[in-house]
């Protein structure tokens, strides 16, 4: 890993200025993805702007019918938060299943969302829970935020400050995970919202996506067999050393039915 400058700002304003002053600067949140990337020399920023000292980017609050999570909130904090466990137990369970204990205690919600890894868990939750990504300048609906493989709607100098998840009647998330990384080979999040069912898949394509056919089937009733024999069309699915695209296509309906069973059992 080559030499890199390090800066720990005392405020969000200072972090924003650092990004504006150096176009090659990178934000450091939990570092669970960025640091291995630097060690492999897949990235070579001139400056690391460490957000760990910014208390204003931490915390969890229920605001109206939404759960607001600060960008620097860790996965472990989200998983164990009593408010989240009551309002969105599916989201709490999702956070509890990320990586191992070290990853959960260091990795952050905002860092994961901004990275837009195709196998990350939060994108499915944001899509299924009608979520919003909040930055230092605007609010971006989840459906407009994730644009592809490690690609988001974030602009230069824009920082994720938090995310919001809409509270729903019931929710559940289930994934078929890599035994090594615990990333989702396929993950399915199902939400029973007042506006109607929402189903999102992660791990299978270049970014998370919703499945309208599953949502239409569940709109007729949340029954144990509601997704049986439902023919759904998916975007182009990815294949890698963990699973072929054909395997993922076969796995999605299986995981979706298991997620529905978990929701009905909650």
Query: In terms of pTM, does the model score above 0.85?
Result: yes
- Torsions phi, psi of 168, nearest 5? -130, 170
Report DSSP letters for the chain, one per residue.
----EEE--SSHHHHHHHHHH-TTEEEESS-TTHHHHHHTTS---SEEEE-TT-GGG--EEEETTEEEEETT-BHHHHHH-HHHHHH-HHHHHHHHTSS-HHHHHH-BHHHHHHHT-TT-SHHHHHHHTT-EEEESS-EEEHHHHEEETTEESPPTT--EEEEEEE--SEEEEEEEE-TTT--EEEEEEEEEETTEEEEEEESSBSS-EE-HHHHHHHHT---TTTTTT------PBP--SS--HHHHHHHHHHHHHHHHHHHHH-
pLDDT of residue 164: 98
Kind of pairing, strands 139-141 and 132-135? antiparallel
Residue 180: is its pLDDT beyond 90? no
CB 138 within 8 A of CB 99: no
Residues 6+ apart with CB under 8 A from 241: none
Mean pLDDT of the chain: 95
Q: What percent of the chain has pLDDT over 70?
A: 100
pLDDT of residue 186: 98
pLDDT of residue 42: 85
Rg (CA), the chain: 18
pLDDT in tens, 119-133: 999 999 999 999 999
What are the Cα distances from residue 6, in Å, to 27, 36, 144, 162? 10, 16, 32, 23
Residues of the chain with CATH 3.30.43.10: 1-54
Cα–Cα dist 1/254, whole Å: 42
Q: Span 143-167, mean pLDDT?
A: 96
CATH architecture of 1-54: 2-Layer Sandwich (3.30)
Find out if CATH 3.30.390.50 is the number for domain 170-265.
yes
Burial class (CB within 10 angstroms; exposed 0-12, middle 13-18, buried 19+) of 182: middle
pLDDT of residue 146: 97
Q: How large is the greatest C-alpha to C-alpha distance in the chain, in angstroms? A: 58
Residues of the chain with CATH 3.30.390.50: 170-265
């Amino acid at each position: 890993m080559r030499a890199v400058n390090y800066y720990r700002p005392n405020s969000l304003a200072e972090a924003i200025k650092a990004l504006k002053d150096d176009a090659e600067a990178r934000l450091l949140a939990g570092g669970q993805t960025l640091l291995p990337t630097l060690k492999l020399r897949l990235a070579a920023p001139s400056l690391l702007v460490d957000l760990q000292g910014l208390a204003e980017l931490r915390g969890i609050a229920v605001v109206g019918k939404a759960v607001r999570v600060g960008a620097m909130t860790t996965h472990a904090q989200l998983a164990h938060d009593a408010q989240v466990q009551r309002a969105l137990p599916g989201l709490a369970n999702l956070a509890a299943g990320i990586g191992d204990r070290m990853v959960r205690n260091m990795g952050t919600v905002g860092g994961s969302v901004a990275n837009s890894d195709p196998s990350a868990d939060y994108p499915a939750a944001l899509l299924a829970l009608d979520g919003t990504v909040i930055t230092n300048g605007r609010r971006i609906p989840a459906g407009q935020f994730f644009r592809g493989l490690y690609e988001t709607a974030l602009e230069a100098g824009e920082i994720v400050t938090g995310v919001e998840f809409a509270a729903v009647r019931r929710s559940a998330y289930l994934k078929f995970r890599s035994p090594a990384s615990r990333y989702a080979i396929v993950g399915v999040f199902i939400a029973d919202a007042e506006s109607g069912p929402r189903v999102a898949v992660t791990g299978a394509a270049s970014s998370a996506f919703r499945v309208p056919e599953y949502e239409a089937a569940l709109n007729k009733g949340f029954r144990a067999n509601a997704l049986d024999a439902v023919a759904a069309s998916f975007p182009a699915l990815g294949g890698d050393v963990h699973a072929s695209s054909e395997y993922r296509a076969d796995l999605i309906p299986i995981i979706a039915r298991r997620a529905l069973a978990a929701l009905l059992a909650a």
